């Protein structure tokens, strides 16, 4: 049996690995892409906005890692396939997929149109399925791979105005478990990260509303919102050898919210 590198940095090293991060132009995706690069990975960053992902690509190249920026819309099947093909063509491999691209439309159900509901599910759930399937065929062929799906505490708890988003994130956690089961014998681990509230463009309407911001801090046992860098440990763990016997799990990073 291989001797584990107990407590060695090698256990968490991503040297020689290639990661793809969707929704990497800003917010949590940007932070996780840079964190993976800091742990040694070469990283393809993707979103619909070329200028944002080009900036992240340049930051990662400045860290001495290879990086490419590939625009893709996660609601488009051929874009998801093209992203994986482009990763293989440009960086010569693919070992880690972080499904992170996401949107939210916060409305009471009676004001939420079917088009809005579908738009949230298409981005936050169908896009994850499409990218996992596209990357998975490569992972199965090579006998290893890590899929990390970014869920939310809304995957397991509910708040008003979150019908579309909570439906999608609940689906992400079930998709994670099914993929984990199907690919467990094939050397592929599939896990999710469920963050609480972090200050990004996605949550700007909430943290700019003093009452809402205070409600969220007050509801959080640690008494504050998360900072994007506080996701780094979770994504590096789930991308690395340190998690090789972990699959089908949702790792909450929530200051204790779901412990209530
Ligand atoms: N912030 C939080 O408090 C929080 C909490 C729990 C979970 N999350 C989850 O974390 C993930 C990232 O959220 P964030 O807060 O970092 O949001 P953000 O700052 O708004 O960033 C979202 C990213 O997703 C990309 N994106 C959106 N729609 C896309 C599409 N159709 N195709 C490709 N890329 C798309 C955006 O780029 P373009 O618009 O340029 O395409 C952007 O790069 C989401 O899945 C979100 O649900 C966030």
Q: What percent of the chain has pLDDT over 90?
A: 96
| 172: nearest Cα among 155, 196, 189 | 155
pLDDT in tens, 65-106: 999 999 999 999 999 999 999 999 999 999 999 999 999 999
Give the pLDDT band (50/70/90) at residue 193.
very high
- What's the 189 CA to ligand 1 centre distance in angstroms? 23
The rounded distance, in Å, linking the Cα atoms of 202 and 190 is 25
What does the pLDDT read at residue 162? 98
Give the pLDDT band (50/70/90) at residue 140.
very high
The rounded distance, in Å, linking the Cα atoms of 181 and 177 is 6
Given a cut of 80, is residue 211 above it in pLDDT? yes
Instruction: Tell me what the mean pLDDT of segment 151-172 comes to.
Output: 98
- What's the 226 CA to ligand 1 centre distance in angstroms? 16
Q: How far is CA 180 from the centre of its chain?
A: 16
What does the pLDDT read at residue 62? 98
| Residue 130 burial (CB count, 10 A) | 22
Two tokens at 91?
């960086």
- What's the 5 CA to ligand 1 centre distance in angstroms? 35
Ligand 1 proximity of 155 Cβ (cutoff 6 Å): no
What does the pLDDT read at residue 119? 98
> Is residue 165 annotated as part of the catalytic site, yes or no?
yes
What does the pLDDT read at residue 3? 59
| 29: nearest Cα among 131, 166, 161, 133 | 131
Ligand 1 pocket, mutate which of 34, 47, 155 (most atoms under 8 A from CB): 47
Instruction: Tell me what the mean pLDDT of segment 222-248 comes to.
Output: 98
The rounded distance, in Å, linking the Cα atoms of 220 and 78 is 40
The rounded distance, in Å, linking the Cα atoms of 48 and 24 is 10
The rounded distance, in Å, linking the Cα atoms of 63 and 249 is 31
Catalogue all structural domains in the chain, each as residue range(s) with its CATH number: 16-253 (3.40.50.720)
Count of helices and strands (H, E) across the chain: 9, 7
Which one from 117, 128, 165, 197 is the annotated catalytic residue? 165
- Region of 145 (left: φ > 0; alpha: ψ -120 to 50; beta: rest) is left
Given a cut of 60, is residue 134 above it in pLDDT? yes
Ligand 1 proximity of 32 Cβ (cutoff 6 Å): no
pTM: predicted TM-score of the whole model, two decimal places = 0.97
Give the pLDDT band (50/70/90) at residue 158.
very high
Query: Which own/partner pairs from 212-221 qualify as long-range (CB within 8 Å, at least 24 positions apart)?
Result: 219/257, 220/196, 220/254, 220/255, 220/256, 220/257, 221/255, 221/256, 221/257, 221/259, 221/260
Ligand 1 proximity of 201 Cβ (cutoff 6 Å): yes
The rounded distance, in Å, linking the Cα atoms of 151 and 101 is 10
pLDDT in tens, 14-57: 999 999 999 999 999 999 999 999 999 999 999 999 999 999 99
pLDDT in tens, 174-186: 999 999 999 999 9
């Amino acid at each position: 049996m291989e001797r584990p590198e107990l407590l060695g940095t090698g256990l968490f090293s991503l040297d020689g690995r290639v990661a793809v991060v969707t929704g990497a132009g800003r917010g949590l995706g940007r932070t996780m892409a840079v964190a993976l690069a800091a742990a040694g990975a070469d990283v393809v960053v993707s979103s619909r906005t070329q200028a944002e992902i080009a900036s992240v690509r340049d930051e990662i190249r400045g860290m001495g890692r290879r990086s490419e920026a590939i625009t893709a819309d996660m609601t488009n099947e051929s874009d998801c396939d093209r992203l994986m093909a482009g990763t293989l063509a440009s960086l010569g491999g693919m070992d880690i997929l972080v499904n992170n691209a996401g949107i939210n439309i916060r409305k009471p159900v009676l004001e939420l149109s079917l088009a809005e509901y579908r738009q949230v599910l298409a981005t936050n759930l169908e896009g994850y399925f499409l990218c996992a399937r596209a990357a998975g065929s490569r992972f199965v062929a090579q006998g290893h791979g890590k899929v990390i799906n970014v869920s939310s505490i809304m995957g397991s708890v509910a708040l008003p105005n979150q019908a579309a988003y909570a439906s999608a994130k609940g689906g992400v956690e079930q998709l994670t478990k099914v993929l984990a089961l199907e690919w467990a014998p094939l050397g592929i681990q599939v896990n999710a990260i469920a963050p609480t509230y972090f200050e990004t463009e996605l949550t700007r309407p909430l943290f700019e509303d003093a009452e809402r911001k205070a409600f969220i801090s007050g509801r959080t046992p640690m008494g504050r919102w998360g900072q994007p860098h506080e996701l780094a440990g979770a994504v590096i763990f789930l991308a690395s050898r340190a998690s090789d016997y972990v699959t089908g799990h949702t790792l909450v990073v929530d200051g204790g919210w779901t412990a209530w």
